[in-house]
Amino acid sequence: MPSAPPLRGSFRTDVRACAAYAEGAGIYRIIPAAVAVPADIADLQALMQWARTERAPLVLRGAGSAMGGGNVGDGTVVDLTRIRPEGVAIDAARRSARADASVTLDELDRAARLEGLRLPPDPSSGRWATLGGMISTNAAGARTVRYGSVRPWVDAVEMVTADGDRLRLARGVEPPRVAAVERFTRDAAPALLAAADRIRAAFPHTRKNSSGYALDAWLASSDLLDLIIGAEGTLGVVTAAEWRLDRVPAHRAGVRLALGTMDRFAETIGLLLEYRPSAVELLDRTFLELVMSRLPADVATAATGAEAMILVELEANDPDELRRSVAALTRVLAPLVTRVDSALREEDAARLWEIRHAASPILAGLPESRRSLQVIEDACVPVARVGDYIRFVRAAAAAHRLDVVIFGHAGDGHVHVNLLPELARAGWEREVAGLLDEVTSEVVRLGGTPSGEHGDGRLRAPLLNRVYGAEVTALFRLVKSAFDPHGILNPGVIVPDGAPSIDRLKAGSGAAPLPPDIAAGLRRIERSGGYATSRLTLAD
């Protein structure tokens, strides 16, 4: 291990500290070489200098709730949650906010709502997800169908480059000519511009995409900011951001639909989108079967025999407009579905949506012999192909003797899949790897992306050559080398390092051993969604 960096914050190499940072929210358990907790931005700059000198890889993380495994690795895990010199400031007149990257979405949202404002992208991890982590994955959520992902809501970022320079990137503003910008302009930009048509053709034409570097977004805007958003910390470390905010709508309504078949799914969603819903969520038959025994009688009746349920949220400032929209939507969709339930009062709409969260405690409470693993958990396909994709996943999982729970963001064609392998069954890891391979091929065939909102991490990085082709992935490497010429920032994330993606798992007999109390603490965090917990409290 190289000598310790000169930090005012923490730098630890002891077994307990490293064990406490061995897991994030995804499937991996990788014990790092060290843990660094910078006290401030100057500390972060010193850490960058040390990493360059020692050729020591840095694994950057906020709350550790990202699913793709980019928050764990062999190098020095850098916990960025202590860097918050200014916190969050709301400018109500401009409908904007400036917030440190370690501020959570929940903190930003609570401050904004005092002014009647909000940040519309709403990942379900918002209680603990840091804003820096959301930028790093171009995060999204249920309301993306109307408001888009994080990208259009970010006006500027402040960051520290791999060279240790502080850099501010703002929309429509020429960036300062620091070393990373100079290298990108000289070495990468001409190649990207020359390949513009091939890049546009290679990128998935889906409503959401958080896979690879956003070369298509950069070509459209010419803003380096668009490359940093979704880069998962591989091009620099975001320390703060400026955000656009939106007014909180005064009224909300809900609609719940039961589908007797997936054959008319695309037609149903197409009609729904004409009413500009703020959310359209999918609960597949596999999800309904899991939660059925715990549902209230009226909800269970609505779900019985359904191939899927669709949950719809509509928002408006005018209650009469909202009432008319719900009535028209109900009338138009009635011939396509087996049941429609609606709610015009906010509290009733919330009750319609309770079923969306019914699976979480069940999955969290599974015995140690049967874990919920997020492997093929983030694919997004064209909306017209969602039915095809779900049928394929069901059949392929059954062929590999793996149970699955399927749900997602129906309006975007974005499908989450939780695998439930029996850990005592010999060869289950091989079956999971085989399923990932087959599903990836199907996603590509359908014109989709393996990641709609969670990013690639180290799980999906080895798949990107199949998604984008050799030429575009070579351009990814060119962008990476321009910003991080020594390869110190999150190696193996987005740009693969050759390692297989289904290994070093947190579950099963091959999992790396941890001190029992720390292993139990990490499991409690996973079960409860306690990702705001400082991992050093587990170590100490």
Count structural domains, the chain: 4
> If pLDDT is split at 50, 70 and 90, which confidence band does 1 have?
low
Q: Which of 203, 224, 246 is at the close of a domain?
A: 246
d(CA 462, CA 444): 14
Among residues 267, 314, 307, which one has the least CA distance to residue 287? 307
Considering the domain boundaries, does residue 160 fall inside one? yes
Q: Residue 215 to residues 115, 223, 410, 464: CA-CA distances in angstroms? A: 36, 11, 26, 14
Structure confidence by residue, pLDDT tens digits, 33-78: 999 999 999 999 999 999 999 999 999 999 999 999 999 999 999 9
100 lies in the same domain as 226: yes
Q: Where in the sequence is the domain holding 277, given as residue range(s)?
A: 250-361
The enclosing domain of 338 has a CATH number of 3.30.70.2190
Half-sphere exposure of 350 (CA within 13 A, CB side): 4
**224-250 mean pLDDT:** 98
340 lies in the same domain as 257: yes
> If pLDDT is split at 50, 70 and 90, which confidence band does 118 have?
very high
* pTM strictly above 0.85: yes
Among residues 390, 484, 409, which one has the least CA distance to residue 142? 409
Q: Which of 246, 279, 314 is at the close of a domain?
A: 246
318 lies in the same domain as 230: no
pLDDT value of residue 236: 98
Q: Residue 52 to residues 46, 162, 164, 236, 271: CA-CA distances in angstroms? A: 10, 8, 9, 13, 54
Half-sphere exposure of 135 (CA within 13 A, CB side): 34
Q: Say yes or no to pLDDT of 427 above 80.
A: yes
Are the C-beta atoms of residues 141 and 280 closer than 8 Å to each other?
A: no
**14-21 mean pLDDT:** 98
- Strand 76-79, strand 154-160: pairing: unpaired
The enclosing domain of 410 has a CATH number of 3.30.70.2740
Are the C-beta atoms of residues 413 and 453 closer than 8 Å to each other?
A: no
* R_g (Cα) of the chain, nearest Å: 23
Considering the domain boundaries, does residue 450 fall inside one? yes
Considering only residues 363 and 200, tell me which one the structure prediction assigns the higher pLDDT.
200
Q: What are φ and ψ of residue 45, in 5° steps? A: -65, -40
**259-277 mean pLDDT:** 94
> If pLDDT is split at 50, 70 and 90, which confidence band does 368 have?
confident
Considering the domain boundaries, does residue 301 fall inside one? yes
pLDDT value of residue 124: 85
Q: Residue 531 to residues 25, 125, 197, 482, 525: CA-CA distances in angstroms? A: 8, 9, 41, 33, 6
Considering the domain boundaries, does residue 496 fall inside one? no
Q: Say yes or no to pLDDT of 143 above 80.
A: yes
